[in-house]
A = this chain, B = another copy of it.
């Protein structure tokens, strides 16, 4: 059994980690922390865990609180993980950070976008970007993984096949994304209360959301040239799920069938990435509660545009499920362990 610690377990990603790991046959959660909930039972914070027999919250978020754990998940605000990681690594623990501290190859990008000095520039260089479909090998050997953002996961998985195939102009990617409200986290803000968002829909964070540099970093690296992303996120009046509509410009005219073949070829054998073939198109409920990414594609010959639809559950493949997928790789367990289930429908 892999002994698990979760630092900062009261947010939505922390709760989702517990939900997934509670059903994982080789994982045992031995420590969960929350500064504001010392000694409380999980079900006091998340009534959906009524009856769970795991540990109570420790109010400390020092590395000592997770002593004895093999893997430590960090579900803390940005700027916190970088301070915790060195001590954990020193004890030989593997670290998976669900925040942004270890996602950037160049720590200065982090500093620019998050307006926070990075105190572990070397460590961020050593960390793996935790997108297994692209970096499986590095992740297997990593001590620190920077778990990708939710929007970047959906966008990168959708663009990658076509950048790799060399059929699109990767200098500019237009990504029009729509996310459920859980992506904003579990926090009491007027803008997120139910009456304000019910029956509503809007864009936000235009034009420079913090996920932009993460997407650009990866797409530039994969394409071997500078990629810029015009990224427009929107807030859907649902709890979970991201759908990204990618507007790409073809440099070579291909058919929809050929575009589908490129996706299938790229993700052949991948357990979590699936093509929804035309005339079907992916929808959010097809992935909610699962670690899957569903892709669909259409060529618009008249305009030379390639439209890729990419959906994930922002809390699973976009956060905690992908983190467990990374844990499986780092611990030499079957990659899909604890992550196989069909979506609840309807």
Contacts and interface: CB of A to CB of B under 8 A. Distances in A.
B50 A206 contact: no
A344 interface: yes
Interface string A198-240: 1111111011100000000000000000001110101011111
Nearest to A202: B283
Interface string A10-23: 00100110110011
B232 A200 contact: no
B47 A286 contact: yes
Interface stretch (A101-109, A159-167, A273-281): A273-281
A193 to B, nearest CB: 5
Contacts of A288: 199, 344
A46 interface: yes
Given A47-B276, A48-B345, A274-B51, A201 B294 contact: no
A249 to B, nearest CB: 9
Given A200-B238, A245-B234, A342-B49, A186 B178 contact: no
Given A52-B342, A202-B284, A186 B195 contact: yes
Contacts of A186: 190, 193, 195, 346
A179 to B, nearest CB: 10
A283 to B, nearest CB: 4
Given A48-B345, A285-B200, A194 B276 contact: no
Interface residues of A, number: 84
Nearest to A19: B342
A342 B193 contact: no
B48 A203 contact: no
Contacts of A47: 276, 280, 283, 286
Most B C-beta atoms less than 10 A away, residue of A48, A193, A239: A193
Given A202-B281, A207-B305, 18 more contacts: A16-B345, A52-B342, A176-B232, A186-B195, A188-B190, A188-B193, A194-B197, A195-B239, A198-B237, A199-B199, A199-B241, A199-B284, A200-B285, A207-B300, A228-B303, A232-B247, A234-B245, A237-B237
26 contacts: A16-B345, A19-B343, A23-B342, A48-B286, A180-B195, A181-B193, A181-B194, A182-B346, A186-B190, A187-B190, A188-B189, A188-B190, A188-B192, A188-B193, A192-B193, A195-B239, A198-B199, A198-B237, A200-B283, A202-B281, A203-B307, A207-B299, A207-B303, A229-B303, A230-B247, A341-B341
